[in-house]
Amino acid sequence: MSGTIVFVDHDGDAFNPNSLGALAKASTLGGDVAAFVAGSGLDDGWAAGLGAYGAGRVLVADDPAFEGGLPQPIVDALEPHAREADQIVFGAGVVSADVAAGLAARLRAGIHCETTELTVGDGGLTAVRPALGDTVMVESGFSQGPAIALARANAFPADPIGEGSAEVERISATVQDWSRAAKMVGREEAESGGVDIAEADVLVAFGRGIGGPENIPVVEQLAKALGGTVAATRAVVDAGWCSYNLQVGQTGKTVSPKLYVAAGVSGAIQHKVGMVNSGVIVAINKDANAPIFEFADLGVVGDALTVVPKLAEAIAARRG
Amino acid sequence: MNIAVCVKEVPSATAARRLDPSTHRLDRSGDSELNPFDVHGLEEAIRIRESGQQVDEIVAVCMGPETAHRPLQKALALGADRAVLLSDPLLAGSDISGTAYALSAVLEAQNADLVILGQQAADADCYVMAAAVADHLRRPLVTQVASLEVADGKVRAKRQTEHGYDVIEAPLPTVISVSDAINEPRLPSIKAIMGAKKKPTDRVTAADSGIDASRVGEDGARSVVRSVSPPPQKQDGVRLEDSGGDSVEQIVQFLAEKGVV
C-alpha cells in the first residue's frame, strides 16, 4: 500500500495512548491510513475500534509469537507491509521504539526520533523535533522512502476524531528463529492503590540529587506542608528507592499539577515530557547546568537537602 | 565470553552545543567526552567479569571522528581491555540507519557474545541504536535494562516499560542496552588511567570493515536535515542562587505571588 501505517502498541486490551495520538496525527497527513496491531488472541471488534482514531484499515497479526509484546517478532510481521508504505509512524513507547529501530535497520530506512510535528508535502514526509536539550528545532525530510517517524512522548493528543469503525484485515507473518529467541519470563505489575500522582494538585518530585532513599522523608515533609504528595524520576525508581507508581515521565505518569517542585531532579527529556505542562515549576538543584533550569519558572541553584527542609518549615509556619 | 561495549564521543555537558548552520551537523569543535550513558555499559561489563563469569575480553567499540580516541582512552581506563575506533571521512554525516549498519559491521568482526549499549546518546536523545544493531546482527535484544544477570549462556534482564517491569531472558549471543540506573559507575584510579595508555586501540576504516560506502555518510543518509530554527520562545524563569537555605524567603514569596501557597 502507499500511504501511512501506524504501529499501535497495546498492553492487553489497553491501547498505548501515545500510539493512539500518533494514529490521530497520521490521519491528518492525507492518503490511506492503516493501523497495525500484533498480539495473541486479538478481537476483531476491538481492533476495528481504531477507526475512531483515524484508521481506515487495521492490519492484525495474531499469533502466539506476539504474546508478551517483545519487539523483534513484530518487526518480522510488519516488514513486508512497511516496505510498501510511504511512511510508518510510531507513538512513543519502549516497544514502539524498539520496533521502529529494528524496522529502520531492516528496510534501510531513514528514522526520525522525538518527533513533535509531521506534515506531508510534495517532497514526502517532513518531521520536526526539538534537539540539543530542546534548544533548537530540527526539520528533516527523507531522501527516499519508506520514512519512519517515532514521536516524542505526549507529542500528539490521544483524542478520538470520529466514531468510525475500521476494516480489519488479518495478516499472516513469518517469524524468524532469532527473533523469537528472547522470552518474556515475568512481569512486575505496577502496584495499584495508594495515591495517584496524576490527580494531585501539588507534587514534590525527587531525583538522585537528594542523595539516597534515606532522604525521602525530607521531601515528604515539604509535600505535606504544601498539601501535595511526592513523585519520583525513573532513575530513582529503577534504583529501587521507591515504587514505580510514583514515577513521572516517559515510561511513568504524565502529570500537570498546579505546582511541581523538583528536588535534585536534572530534568532529562524523559522526565520533562511527563511534567512540562505543570502550572508552576520550581527546581532546586546543585548543578547550575541542569537542563531543568531551562524550563523551570523558578530555578534555585542550591543543595536540595538544605533548601527543602527549610522551605517545608517556612510553608508550614505560613499556613499556621 | 567476550563483551563489546559501544561508546560514543559527545560534546561535554558543559560545552555550548550547537548545530553548524551550513552543514546542519553537530558542531564538534568544543570539548567532548565519553557519552555518560555508555559509562554504565562499561561498568556493567566490568561487574559481569567481577561476578565470576569468565570474561576473556571487554572491547570498547566506537564510530566517530579521530578525536574520539580521547573518550576511548577513558573507556580503557574504566576497564575495557582493548578499543576499536571506526573512523573514516566517508562516514561523516551518516544518519541513524547508516550508523547502525556501520557499527554492526565492526561489531560483527569482534565475535562478542554480549553487545552492550547505553540507553541513548547524550547529544541525540534517541533510544534506537541497540534495536537497530540487534536487527543487523540478527541477535536477540533487550533494551532499557535496569538489572542484569548473566549465567548459563543467557542473560536475564529486567526492563521498565510504560506498564511496570518486564523480566526477559535471551540466549547469548545477544544485544542489550542498559538504563543509566543499572549501576553507579566507579571512577578510574590514577593507575588505571596510566595503564590505559598501554592498552591497544585498533583503528579501522570503512573499507577495512567491508562497509558499503553507498549506505553511509551524508550521501547514504535517508533522513536529511532540511532546516534548523530556534524553539518557540518561552518566558525565562527566575533564577536564585541559594547558600545555606537563604533563598527560602524568596521561594515562598514567589509561590505566594503565583497563588500556589
Among candidates A97, A103, A235 on the partner chain, residue whose Cβ is nearest the Cβ of B180? A235
Hey, which CATH number is domain A197-319, 3.40.50.970, 2.40.40.20, 3.40.50.1220, 3.90.226.10?
Answer: 3.40.50.1220
In this prediction, residue B25 carries a pLDDT of: 83
Determine the distance in angstroms separating the CA of A107 from the nearest CA of chain B, rounded to an integer: 9
Chain A residues whose beta carbon lies within 8 Å of the beta carbon of residue B19: 131-132, 136, 138
Listed by number, the residues of chain A in 177-236 with a beta carbon closer than 8 Å to a beta carbon of chain B are: 178, 181-190, 202, 226, 234-236
Chain B residues whose beta carbon lies within 8 Å of the beta carbon of residue A140: 223-226
Q: Does B15 touch chain A (CB under 8 A)?
A: no
Size of interface A-B (CB pairs under 8 A): 278
Listed by number, the residues of chain A in 248-287 with a beta carbon closer than 8 Å to a beta carbon of chain B are: 251, 258-259, 269, 279-282, 284
Domain that holds residue B107: 2-220
Residue in chain B lying closest to A270 (CA): B125
| The three grid cell numbers given for residue A64, joined into one nine-digit string | 502466539
Asked if the structure places residue B132 within a domain, the reply is yes
Q: What is the residue-averaged pLDDT of chain B?
A: 94
Asked if the structure places residue B73 within a domain, the reply is yes
Residue B17 CB contacts under 8 Å (≥ 6 apart), including other chains: A132, A133, A135, B11, B26, B27, B30, B123
Asked if the structure places residue B225 within a domain, the reply is no
Note the pLDDT tens digit of each residue in A67-77. Answer: 988 999 999 99
Asked if the structure places residue B259 within a domain, the reply is no
Q: Does B13 touch chain A (CB under 8 A)?
A: yes
Asked if the structure places residue B246 within a domain, the reply is no
Determine the distance in angstroms separating the CA of A129 from the nearest CA of chain B, rounded to an integer: 10
In this prediction, residue A192 carries a pLDDT of: 62
| The three grid cell numbers given for residue A191, joined into one nine-digit string | 502496584
Integer angstrom CA distances of residue B237 from A119, A262, A285, A298, B37: 32, 14, 14, 5, 29
Torsion angles phi and psi, residue B97, rounded to 5: -65, -40
CB burial of residue B155 (10 Å; 0-12, 13-18, 19+): buried
> ipTM, 2 decimals?
0.94
Three-state DSSP state, B76: helix
Asked if the structure places residue B44 within a domain, the reply is yes
Query: Residue A191 pLDDT more than 70?
Result: no
Q: Does A306 touch chain B (CB under 8 A)?
A: yes
Asked if the structure places residue B230 within a domain, the reply is no
- Interface mutation vs chain B, best among A96, A132, A319, most B CBs within 10 Å: A132
**Measured between alpha carbons, how far is A154 from A134 in angstroms, rounded to an integer?**
15
Three-state DSSP state, B34: strand
Confidence of residue B248 (pLDDT cuts 50, 70, 90): very high
**Measured between alpha carbons, how far is A243 from A225 in angstroms, rounded to an integer?**
22
Q: Do domains A4-180 and A197-319 have the same CATH topology?
A: yes
Whichever domain contains B181, its CATH number is 3.40.50.620
Listed by number, the residues of chain B in 165-204 with a beta carbon closer than 8 Å to a beta carbon of chain A are: 165-171, 174, 179-182
Chain A residues whose beta carbon lies within 8 Å of the beta carbon of residue B17: 132-133, 135
Note the pLDDT tens digit of each residue in A219-266. Answer: 999 999 999 999 999 999 988 899 999 999 998 999 999 999 999 999
Three-state SS across A51-63?
A: HHHCCCEEEEEEC
User: Lowest-pLDDT range, A53-57, A120-124, A199-203, B230-234?
Assistant: B230-234
Determine the distance in angstroms separating the CA of A182 from the nearest CA of chain B, rounded to an integer: 4
A11-A15-A21 Cα angle (round to 5): 140
Q: Does B254 touch chain A (CB under 8 A)?
A: yes
Cβ of B124 within 8 Å of Cβ of A131? The answer is yes
Cβ of A105 within 8 Å of Cβ of B132? The answer is yes
In this prediction, residue A1 carries a pLDDT of: 60
Among candidates A98, A142, A144 on the partner chain, residue whose Cβ is nearest the Cβ of B143? A98
**Measured between alpha carbons, how far is A58 from A33 in angstroms, rounded to an integer?**
9
Query: Residue A194 pLDDT more than 80?
Result: no
Asked if the structure places residue B250 within a domain, the reply is no
Residue in chain B lying closest to A201 (CA): B260
Torsion angles phi and psi, residue A64, rounded to 5: -55, -25
What is the number of domains present in chain B? 1
Chain B residues whose beta carbon lies within 8 Å of the beta carbon of residue A21: none
- Domain ranges for chain A: 4-180, 197-319
Q: Does A296 touch chain B (CB under 8 A)?
A: yes
In this prediction, residue B31 carries a pLDDT of: 85
Cell 561498568 sits on residue: B43
Confidence of residue A190 (pLDDT cuts 50, 70, 90): low
| The three grid cell numbers given for residue A27, joined into one nine-digit string | 490521519
Confidence of residue A32 (pLDDT cuts 50, 70, 90): very high
Listed by number, the residues of chain B in 76-95 with a beta carbon closer than 8 Å to a beta carbon of chain A are: 95
- Interface mutation vs chain A, best among B94, B128, B178, most A CBs within 10 Å: B128
Residue A36 CB contacts under 8 Å (≥ 6 apart), including other chains: A5, A6, A7, A8, A58, A59, A61, A78, A81
Cβ pair A103, A209 in contact under 8 A: no
- Compute the average pLDDT of residues A276-297: 95
Listed by number, the residues of chain A in 51-70 with a beta carbon closer than 8 Å to a beta carbon of chain B are: 68, 70
Cβ of A111 within 8 Å of Cβ of B128? The answer is yes
- Interface mutation vs chain A, best among B10, B166, B223, most A CBs within 10 Å: B223
- Interface mutation vs chain A, best among B99, B107, B135, most A CBs within 10 Å: B135
Query: Residue A134 pLDDT more than 70?
Result: yes
Query: Residue A61 pLDDT more than 80?
Result: yes
Among candidates A110, A135, A259 on the partner chain, residue whose Cβ is nearest the Cβ of B223? A110
**Measured between alpha carbons, how far is A40 from B167 in angstroms, rounded to an integer?**
19
Report the topology of domain A4-180: Rossmann fold (3.40.50)
